[in-house]
Structure 1
Amino acid sequence: MRAGSARRVVASTVAALLTALCVPLVVHAARTQHEPAAAADQHFAVTWAASAGRQNAGPAERSYRLVVRTSVGGNALRIRLTNAFGDHPVTFASAYAGLQRQGAELIPGSNRRLTFGGQSSVTVPAGETTLSDPLPGDVAAQSDLVVSLYVTGAQGPMSGHGLAMQTSYATTGDHAAEEAAVNWTDAMSFWYWLDAVSVQTSAAISSVVTLGDSITDGWASTTNLNHRWPDYLARRLQATPESTVKGVANEGISGNKVLADGAGEAALRRFDRDVLAHPGVGTVFVHEGINDIKARPGVTVDDLAAGYRQLVDRAHAAGKCVVGATLMAYKGWPEYDPAGEAVRQGVNDWIRHSGVFDAVVDFDKITRSPYDPQTLLPLFDSGDHLHPNDMGMQAMADAVDLAALRCDR
């Protein structure tokens, strides 16, 4: 097939995808889910999240101890459990939330039972999610929260996040209530079943969702140190008293695309579940598109621009601000080629000058080499010429104008 014909095929395929993907998805809730009432001057805001996808089948009658880092602090903590990608119902026979002391060990006295509609267990049908009841008490910002689940009756694929950059734990049998680490012998780098945590906080406080691919997911950052760029952003927000944006929900998926499914559902397809369904979100931060460009054959500038417009339109319709970020250099990565680079440059020009986004952060400008603008600055390069190292991740977060995370919507 000639290059021109291939491009026309891609364009028509993308147009069809955009038509299909623009239909909002419904995030289903289990029968036990109820939205708890909040005081007039308070609301719930997401404090942690990780995009779920379809994972391999796992053994039944197993406990999972999942370690996550909160961003915004508050009270009345609740978790969201997902079976969005399962083929069968799954039962969470017991669920607890505590604070990490070290490894799988919890701070004594911190581990408390979670309930669902007043019950200690909940069964979530295939394709659905459920919220726990609010847990009385305060949760501090930047806490190492540990959610322990005992899962029974699991069959087929599990729902979860495959690139945690955080060590969690598993074991056979029900050990969710235990605070000691002795029975938690199986270390793992996944987050299964848990895909969001929210807290009740001041109605003036909001959260930002970072929608992206492996760079946002944190690939190449140091495991267990919370050195993803959204983590650095969360620390900046906490250290800035005048900022009312305090929560950060990281919805990056390694290998993800804006337009096409593959490594997880396309950003357009997962937008409702991974962005709009979270409480207290005021802003969406979009940094995604390099995987669309690197595909063979890749997409055009117009293709990605149309996808971005749909994301912005859907966010605006829900009253959210949208920040767009330019795509960073990737020369030296195996899939780099001059044609893809030309598209990246064109996409970045569109992001900078189209006026579609409420604000723009120029990640490309602050991370590229001054000697070869098609490559990452060596100081920020993890070594694979695509993903930033810890220093690059921090530079990205530092480049965000915190005032740009709010707009008049």
Structure 2
Amino acid sequence: MRAGRGRGCVLVALAVAALAVQAVPATARAAPAGSEVVTWGASADRLGEGVPDRAYRLVVHTSVGGSDLRVRLSNAFGDRPVTFDSVYAGVQEAGAGLVRGSNRQLVFGGARSVTVPAGATVTSDPLPGRVAAGTNLVVSVHSPDAAGPATGHGMSMQTSYVSQGDHTTEDSPANWGGTIGSWFYLDAVTVRASPGTGAVVALGDSITDGWQSSTDLNRRWPDYLARRLRQSTTTTVKGVANEGISGNKVLADGAGQSALHRLDRDVLSHPGVCTVFLFEGVNDIKAHTGVTAQDMIAGYREVVRRAHAAGKRVVGATVGPFKGWSEWDPEAEAVRQEVNAFIRDSGVFDAVTDFDRALRSPYDHERILPFFDGGDHLHPNDKGMQAMADAVDLKSLDCSAPANP
């Protein structure tokens, strides 16, 4: 049985379908129809020092499918310009290997090379063709001059690859021997989807980032949510951007900039976003820095105010149980309970998802249900992540639903 050859043919067919080149002269193309919408995102942070002549092969998972793929490269935390002289996008076959024929060059203003100023981002030109929803997309980037603070996303729960020298054009994994668990320089991917398609951005901490979910299997709760949205016929929201950072807080910088400080860049700047899903606060509460429920409420109100000013809906999620975690104590629990009462009952949010209720044990509401516990009494496992996504009312994310004034 020649299984290997059959599988290869299938993968090539999928690659052609996913990233098909349109053999039409640029001057003859009609204006693109549809809505540009984010299909993948990851919050930017500082990631050590940049290395010159290094290439990264970054594996990301699309949520919504569409045409005219674009990638956004970030130098948000750099202190000097960084040049990218080769950027490609393809479809993963296995590991660092790509489906043959799927790897294609991205350009910026028609040029293959682009220099991103310190503190800035740059978005590629649209890549003709289609990319399917639920695709393991591989974006390969090379910088000849990277130095100083590098920008990226630290905890990806996804294996990506690194090489010294420019091997971005290659389908083969042969020169990509190094593995990494972070995404360097890439912070968003967008596509042009059917008209009216929208996206939701999950703004959160390590639970949203996916800690304790299975690496390389896309089992973070936003991934499960994306799969539900893809199958739904009741909402036009199909894109999901995961803007969680492990250790992140609403009010204070530390593990990444605070939710308040990164809201514009990590959430409101993405195209097609109609809903902000705010699930954050446990790191503020358990830090024992004197943060009160009223402090948290003021922070939530500020996020909602700014999102509403940008025309976005805001869904608030209650803070989950964490009794058994080393920093839990009755005082922190009292703050959590007061914060959750505000989220549920204040009417400030356009809708509420009760993650506390979805995750807690029926025998002790201060603890996560053991079946959902990733082992540290704070972070859910894969089953807990799925239960969280299942708790979301998909209609509450819809762009057509009215926002609170």
CA contact (8 A) 1:298 1:340 kept: no
What's the CA shift for 1:297? 1.9
Distance 1:305 1:226, change over 3 A: same
CA contact (8 A) 1:165 1:218 kept: yes
2:48 aligned with 1:56, yes or no?
yes
Write the mapping of 1:225-304 to structure 2, written as runs, cut at 5 A: 225-304=217-296
2:197 aligned with 1:205, yes or no?
yes
Task: Look up the equivalent residue of 1:72 and give its one-letter code.
Answer: V
Task: Look up the equivalent residue of 1:80 and give its one-letter code.
Answer: R
2:374 aligned with 1:386, yes or no?
no
Distance 1:266 1:38, change over 3 A: farther
The superposition leaves residues 164-202 of structure 1 with CA deviations (integer Å, 9 ceiling, x where unpaired) of 000000000000000000000001100000000000112
SS at the partner of 1:365?
helix
What's the CA shift for 1:58? 3.3
Q: Report the equivalent of 1:143.
A: 135
2:102 aligned with 1:91, yes or no?
no
SS at the partner of 1:404?
helix
SS at the partner of 2:368?
coil
What's the CA shift for 1:79? 0.2
Distance 1:38 1:332, change over 3 A: farther
* Alignment partners' CA distance in 1, 2:87 and 2:135: 18
Q: Report the equivalent of 2:368.
A: 376
CA contact (8 A) 2:197 2:238 kept: yes
SS at the partner of 1:284?
strand
SS at the partner of 2:215?
coil
The RMSD of aligned alpha carbons is 1.2
What's the CA shift for 1:40? 7.8
SS at the partner of 1:248?
strand
Write the mapping of 1:20-169 to structure 2, written as runs, cut at 5 A: 39=31, 41-169=33-161
* Alignment partners' CA distance in 2, 1:263 and 1:107: 36
TM superposition outliers: structure 1 runs of 4+ over 6 Å: none
Task: Name the TM-score, length of structure 1 as normaliser.
Answer: 0.90
Q: Report the equivalent of 2:402.
A: 408
Q: Report the equivalent of 2:19.
A: none
CA contact (8 A) 2:51 2:145 kept: no
* Alignment partners' CA distance in 1, 2:385 and 2:193: 28
The superposition leaves residues 301-336 of structure 1 with CA deviations (integer Å, 9 ceiling, x where unpaired) of 111111111111111111111000000000111111
2:355 aligned with 1:363, yes or no?
yes
Q: Report the equivalent of 2:9.
A: none
* Alignment partners' CA distance in 1, 2:296 and 2:166: 47
- Overall identity of the aligned pairs, in %: 64
What's the CA shift for 1:59? 1.9
* Alignment partners' CA distance in 2, 1:215 and 1:360: 18
What's the CA shift for 1:241? 2.3
SS at the partner of 2:85?
strand
The superposition leaves residues 240-263 of structure 1 with CA deviations (integer Å, 9 ceiling, x where unpaired) of 123200000000000000000000
Q: Which runs of 5+ in 1 are unaligned?
A: 1-36
What's the CA shift for 1:296? 2.4
The superposition leaves residues 18-55 of structure 1 with CA deviations (integer Å, 9 ceiling, x where unpaired) of xxxxxxxxxxxxxxxxxxx9958522100000001011
* Alignment partners' CA distance in 1, 2:364 and 2:124: 51
CA contact (8 A) 1:292 1:298 kept: no
Q: Report the equivalent of 1:4.
A: none
* Alignment partners' CA distance in 2, 1:48 and 1:389: 22
* Equivalent residue for 2:182, pick from 179, 182, 190: 190
* Equivalent residue for 2:342, pick from 327, 339, 350: 350
The superposition leaves residues 95-139 of structure 1 with CA deviations (integer Å, 9 ceiling, x where unpaired) of 000000000000000000000000001010110000000000001
SS at the partner of 2:332?
helix
SS at the partner of 1:56?
strand
* Alignment partners' CA distance in 2, 1:144 and 1:41: 25
Task: Look up the equivalent residue of 1:243 and give its one-letter code.
Answer: T
CA contact (8 A) 1:227 1:394 kept: yes
SS at the partner of 2:378?
coil
Task: Look up the equivalent residue of 1:244 and give its one-letter code.
Answer: T
Task: Look up the equivalent residue of 2:200 and give its one-letter code.
Answer: V
Q: Report the equivalent of 1:23.
A: none
* Equivalent residue for 1:219, pick from 211, 216, 223: 211
What's the CA shift for 1:337? 0.8
Task: Name the TM-score, length of structure 2 as normaliser.
Answer: 0.91
* Alignment partners' CA distance in 2, 1:272 and 1:339: 32
What's the CA shift for 1:60? 1.0
Deviates more, 1:340-349 or 1:294-303: 294-303
SS at the partner of 1:336?
coil
* Alignment partners' CA distance in 1, 2:319 and 2:161: 35
Task: Look up the equivalent residue of 1:173 and give its one-letter code.
Answer: G
